[in-house]
Amino acid sequence: MAVLYSSLSMPADDLCATLFKRDPALDLRIWPDTGPVEEIEFALVWRPQPGDLVRYPNLKAIFCLGAGVDALLMDKTIPDLPIVRLVDRALTAGITEYVLLHVLRYHRHMPALEAAQRAREWSELRAPAPWDRRIGIMGFGVLGGDAADKLVSMGFTVAAWSRSAKSRPGVECFTGPEGLRPFLARTDILVCLLPLTADTEGIVNARTLAMLPKGACFINAGRGAEVVEEDLLAALDSGHLAYATLDVFRTEPLPPESRFWTHPKVTMTPHNASDTNAESAAAGLLQGMADARAGRPLKNLIDRQRGY
């Protein structure tokens, strides 16, 4: 049986070469050169051609080549098959590095110190002790959990907010709509790592931003559509929000006319907080397909009703 690689935006070279290196016998078909469609057993996808996956009558499982599956689920023709999202240590490490980098920037007043340098001002800004800095993480799955662990190990006071009840040593956990206001009210630096669903679209808006303490900072490495961008800009312009770091946007690439490019309180990155690592991803994909062929339970299955 064959394996289909299908992506409109992720180059096949590195990952496919690594898959072949690990399994030279792998019959890998790179879309649109699929060969006989009835031979396709598994699909490895990232933003595949809409409507294409229904063409493979013997498809057994779909493996998403990223942590988020929102773009995949937008295609309502996706067959009713197991969908596995990518969870690997390199992807997780990349997100954690990004979170730590920007939390520490804000904790140590780096934007203000950099502005003072440009103005040739000797500004001795002092950072509080880490346990006096309250970090809040929205989204507490694999990515949020790893970032929280590292922040706790550095001494920060960490809380998390998620849809379902969670618990983790050293982390104060809040749950559901009733937990959102108290979670935000105690947060100095807000980190968004939420999956994009009908419930999370636009969740960072004028109402929720107003729940943060004045002078809070915001870091988004989740999904751009979770932020009402006009409301975020208004909170920055008013001074209610001190700074924002944004890796994701509603429209990507970010249009040249966007104010985010030049806003003095915004740090932006081009959706590269973490990338799929060919070596670690290939190992997980091959193991997942081997499990499926052997009838073993698949790990990291998504729940279509929840959207993640």
Q: Provide the annotated active-site residues.
A: 223, 271
Alpha helices in 120-247 (DSSP H): 142-153, 176-185, 206-211, 229-238
> What is d(CA 203, CA 196) in angstroms, rounded to the nearest whole number?
10
Between CA 94 and CA 66 the distance in angstroms is: 13
CB atoms within 10 A of CB 246: 23
Residue 190, phi then psi, degrees to nearest 5: -100, 125
Backbone angles phi, psi at 91, to 5 degrees: -65, -45
In angstroms, the CA 186 to CA 44 distance is 41
CA 242, 217, 87 angle in degrees (round to 5)? 155
Phi, psi at 47, each rounded to 5°: 50, 60
Q: Token digits for 299?
A: 């790990």
Q: How far from each other are the two terminal CA atoms of the chain, in whole angstroms?
A: 28
Residue 94: alpha-carbon gap to chain centroid: 10
CA–CA separation, 163 vs 297, rounded Å?
25
What is the CA 213 to chain-centroid distance, rounded?
25
Q: What is the identity of the amino acid at 43?
A: A
